[in-house]
A and B are shown apart, each in its own frame.
Chain A
Amino acid sequence: APAAPPAPLGCDDPESEAAAEVAVNYINGHSHHGYKFALNRIEDVRVVPQGPNNDIIFLELDLLETKCPILSPTPLANCTVRSFTEHAVEGDCDVKLQKLDGKISVLASKCHSHADSSEDISKVCPDCPQLASLNNTEVLETVSAALNDFNSKTTGPYLRLLEIGRGKIQYHPAHVVAVEFAVGATNCSAEEAKVNVGACQLLPEDQSNFGFCIGTMVKLPTQNLEVDCQLYGHQPGVTYVHAGQDTS
């Protein structure tokens, strides 16, 4: 009697998890903006045999945003997943992979991400700050104030804004705007920038030095601004692709 067809691959089978790990590393490695994503759930897996030791694997993955910016050198395993009450962001990805002679590689991937709904957050945590749009006026003002404040006090290189990662606004019990943004070191010191900031350009690729800032502006009851920026140091081969130049 012909051999029975192999049982369909389960979403929690080791082979599916190995394929999902390859897929998540590929997705993070080919993303140029925002944050790294971690695997939350394998929604579906489908294997299409192509011949001996040659399978096409289709994965449907549920990812969750972590707190690690995409330019951060932190290994994904050490990146904390943003919690539900911190206004989580979910990624849905469809990935096509090939397993050839035991080696798994990604052929194509398509993802889209979306923040959890404000209603869901409010139900669980009425006073939790909620994500604001990245072009929200208060977010933009807070990023600008935080970066200027840091540059006015730093003894290191003058930093330029690369992109805003997220902005959250809380109205109770105080009016607080919290922002996260990516920065790049320029060829100026902070002192030189005071003289001619126009001459301050991001360092060339072979010297690039990216970093990340977190700023908090308390507006009421009294105004108070706090900002902290960390530079990662030069990471060979890591480049920042300005928005709009990105490939899908």
Chain B
Amino acid sequence: PVTKRAVAEAAQHDKVPRPVGFVPPPPPCPGKIRHFDI
């Protein structure tokens, strides 16, 4: 049980910490709709 917990915690710390309020950039395509979508 100790090993499992340690791995879980380590894995947690490896993740890149995201700043609070991080918003991923919009996908590059498709672009914005200028009139309406059919």
Contact = CB atoms under 8 A, between A and B. Distances in A.
A11 B38 contact: no
Contacts of A81: 35
A94 interface: no
Contacts, number: 51
A81 B30 CA distance: 20
B-side interface mostly = loop
Interface size band for A? 20 to 34
Contact of B28 (A11, A40, A88): A11
B29 A90 contact: no
Interface in A8-46: 8-13, 16, 38-45
Interface string A186-210: 0000000000000000000000000
Residue from the set A9, A11, A16, A120 with the largest chain B CB neighbour count within 10 Å? A11
Q: Considering the complex of A and B, which 9 residue pairs feature the smallest CB-CB distances, nearest first?
A: A11-B31, A10-B28, A42-B31, A11-B29, A12-B31, A43-B30, A90-B38, A81-B35, A44-B29
